[in-house]
């Protein structure tokens, strides 16, 4: 086992860039949520919210008050979701063909980099999708924005209606888990400055307002074309390193995993991306209420099992793992739009 011990010692080193990635893409949404990770604790995670009010009425002296109890709050739960990237290799490549001073790069390190990039790409894509058993069973996937930012009757960008969010049926909580439908329709159509303004204001409630607007590369260009010059300027976002513009103070950033019309490559399809007909998507987000839960376990919190030998040949394989989930605690402070064109 000394040979495998040596390989695993190399594989557990810090992963640093050593090759040029010409396949995968960047996601500011994943970058954001990974900067604000919350530890997964217990069998489920529960998000609590208020959905009703108490009986507030005027009265005259001597009137009888209605003192019946009312349920005004509840909670919805999510279960952990599990993701795995298998990292297979041949001992001959690890120890002979791609080892020693003549090796152009460290093959083990290359495999680990690609494993991490592949996991990130899959999670970045799934943050925009749903984790329910509907037309297609996605109950093993993250509970993403597709199910959070809708209501009980209006379909999202994949023409799915989400009657429930977390474990709560939306119609049972007086619309508290609905993404607000004031302002322009969810299918936005031709983008204009007026629609941008209406979309932004439709999720402003008191001091709460969107601080991040994510869209596709095309959608980002559309925003720049319609925004008045005095109300936008380009800057490099200091937190994520992504190029952004500002709209009403919110950062507008292109996310290459946001659903849109670009043609999906084979690599895109491998991590779950599929092109959307009819236009781009755009997300007005209040990042104070986005939760990305990750297992604190060293293995399931983006850890690696180490390489394990096969019994009948010289193949070795390791597994890169993630366990956790994603929640949106306050859908009413956010909105998702689709069908956006120039």
* Residue ranges per structural domain of the chain: 2-12+36-52+78-341
Residue 217: CB atoms within 10 Å: 15
Most confident range, picked from 1-15, 181-195, 280-294: 280-294
The residue among 95 and 338 whose pLDDT is bigger is 338
At residue 226, the pLDDT reads 86
Task: State the average pLDDT over residues 1-14.
Answer: 51
CA distances from residue 341 to 66, 237, 278 in whole angstroms, order as listed: 52, 26, 8
Residue 213 has pLDDT above 90, yes or no: yes
Q: 93 or 163: whose pLDDT is higher?
A: 163
Which CATH fold would you assign to the domain 2-12+36-52+78-341? phage-related protein like fold (3.90.1690)
Q: Tally Cβ neighbours within 10 Å of residue 107.
A: 18
Residue 308 or 244, more confident: 308
Q: How confident is the model at residue 19 (pLDDT cuts 50, 70, 90)?
A: very low
pLDDT at position 174 over 60:
yes
Give the model's pLDDT for residue 129: 96
93-102, 231-240, 262-271: least confident range: 231-240
Q: Got the DSSP string for 3-47?
A: HHHHHHHHHTSPP---S--SS----HHHHHHHHTEEE--SS-EEE
pTM of the full structure: 0.86
């Amino acid at each position: 086992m000394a040979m495998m011990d040596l390989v695993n010692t190399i594989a557990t080193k810090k992963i640093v860039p050593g090759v040029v990635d010409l396949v995968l893409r960047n996601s500011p949404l994943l970058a954001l949520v990974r900067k604000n990770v919350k530890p997964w604790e217990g069998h489920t995670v529960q998000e609590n919210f208020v959905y009703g009010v108490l009986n507030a009425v005027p009265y005259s002296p001597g009137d009888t008050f209605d003192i019946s109890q009312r349920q005004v709050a509840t909670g919805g739960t999510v279960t952990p979701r599990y993701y795995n990237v298998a990292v297979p290799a041949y001992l001959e490549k690890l120890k002979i063909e791609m080892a020693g001073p003549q090796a152009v790069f460290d093959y083990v390190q290359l495999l680990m980099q690609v494993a991490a990039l592949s996991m990130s790409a899959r999670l970045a894509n799934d943050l925009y999708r749903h984790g329910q058993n509907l037309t297609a069973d996605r109950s093993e996937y993250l509970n993403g924005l597709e199910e959070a930012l809708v209501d009980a009757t209006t379909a999202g960008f994949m023409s799915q209606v989400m009657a429930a969010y977390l474990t709560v049926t939306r119609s049972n909580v007086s619309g508290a888990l609905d993404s607000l439908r004031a302002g322009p329709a969810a299918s936005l159509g031709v983008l204009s400055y007026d629609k941008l303004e209406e979309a932004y204001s439709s999720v402003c409630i008191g001091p709460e307002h969107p601080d991040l607007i994510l869209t596709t590369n095309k959608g980002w260009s559309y925003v720049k074309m319609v925004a008045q010059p005095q109300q936008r300027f380009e800057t490099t976002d200091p937190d994520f390193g992504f190029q952004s513009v500002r709209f009403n103070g919110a950062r507008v950033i292109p996310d290459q995993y946001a659903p849109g019309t670009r043609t999906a490559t084979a690599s895109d399809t491998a991590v779950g991306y599929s092109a959307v007909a009819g236009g781009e998507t755009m997300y007005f987000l209040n990042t104070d209420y986005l939760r990305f839960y990750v297992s604190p376990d060293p293995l399931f919190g983006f850890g690696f099992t180490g390489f394990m030998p096969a019994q009948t040949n010289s193949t070795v394989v390791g597994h890169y793992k993630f366990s956790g989930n994603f929640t949106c605690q306050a859908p009413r402070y956010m909105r998702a739009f689709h069908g956006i064109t120039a």
